[in-house]
Amino acid sequence: MSSMSKNARICAVGSAPPLVDKGLNEHFDVVREADLEVRGLAVCGGHTRIDGAFVELFPKLEIVSSFGVGYDHVDAASLAKRGIVVTHTPDVLTGEVADLALGLLISTVRQLPQVDRYLREGKWLKGAYPLTTTLRGRKVGILGLGRIGKAIAMRLEACDLEIEYHGRNAQPDVAYRYHPTLLGLAQSCDVLMVVASGGAETRHIVNKEVLEALGADGILINVGRGTVVDEAALIKALQDKKILSAGLDVFEDEPRVPAELIAMEHVVLLPHVGSASVHTRNAMGQLVVDNLVSWFGGKGAITPVPECQTLAASKAKG
């Protein structure tokens, strides 16, 4: 790994926040299109697929620094085989997303957006808003008990809610009840909080059977990835009253949201704003830049994705 210099060429992919643009231009020679001399990519925005075919355009590529904790738009395993390290921006957004998840749950259960509209439209003058359901006595199942999932669980504990979870494996240091199957989790709980990452492995795992297992009083909250939920099955479950409601911050084909969901007054829909505060987005952007600065400064990657941790460690030693 060579030492950092202003001449290290970085290609910015997607619409980079101003802080990222400023940091990249301060430290690197930045281009916006494929260039044979590019040694790093700064990827801001998940709509460009960064895979083996894409990186063929960059024969000298060493590192892909991606904006966001999720990186299903990057084929990290394929890039690692080519000796290319992929980094992301975990931790700095954990609290923000967890706050949003709790707020979305409360908003969905207590119908806060609907109540706000009721007042603004002058309907309170004609009578009180109908009574809503409650969080009291509910059991929340978390799908994906990683950094963000655990931060959400901590906030749910403060609401006196019982928590259970499902993931690839049981976590020995976690006191919550583990379910080896997602269906079992849904059968046991009446709120399913989806925090799972996207990709082929998790695509549509929240399906018709899982939704119906939640029951007629069940609520789905998704702050993970839209592809984890079978959107057509969710729409049908809501229409047929197989579940009570849903609060969604993510969708299968963003920014396009199905008209059927938009037409439903009893669901809460957000435009993927889990980490969307100035404070947190700046911290994420800074980490994109810091990973590149550290790498080309000979100090290795700061936050390599799991598929690249061994590769990143070996290159740092080299």
pLDDT band at 5 (very low <50, low <70, confident <90, very high): low
Buried b (16+ CB within 10 A) or exposed e, 38-67: bbbbbbbebeeebeeebbeebeebbbbbbb
191 & 51 share domain: no
Residue among 302, 105, 285, 309 nearest 193 (CA): 105
Rg (CA), the chain: 22
What pLDDT does 169 receive?
A: 95
Phi–psi pair at 63, nearest 5 degrees: -150, 145
* Domain hosting residue 288, numbered range: 9-90+278-317
Same domain for 143 and 77:
no
User: Is the pLDDT reported for residue 318 higher than 70?
Assistant: no
Which of the residues are catalytic? 225, 254, 272
134 domain-assigned:
yes
Give the pair of three-digit tokens for residue 254: 């963003």
Same domain, 110 and 29: no
- Each residue's pLDDT tens digit, 208-227: 999 999 999 999 999 999 99
User: Does residue 213 lie within any of the structural domains?
Assistant: yes
> Are both 142 and 210 inside the same structural domain?
yes
**Percent of the chain predicted with pLDDT > 90:** 93
- Does residue 3 lie in a domain region? no
C-alpha span between 290 and 176 (Å, rounded): 36
Strand order across the 162-166 sheet: 177-178, 162-166, 139-143, 191-194, 219-222, 245-248, 268-269
Asked if residue 111 and residue 86 are part of one domain, the reply reads no
Strands across the sheet containing 29-31:
29-31, 9-14, 38-44, 63-66, 85-87
What total number of domains does the chain contain?
Answer: 2
pTM of the model: 0.92
Report CA-CA distances (Å) from 281 to 10, 44, 73, 110, 301.
Answer: 21, 11, 19, 29, 20
- Based on the fold, state whether residues 224 and 115 are members of the same structural domain: yes
Average pLDDT on 184-201 reads 96
Q: How many CB atoms lie within 10 A of CB 37?
A: 13
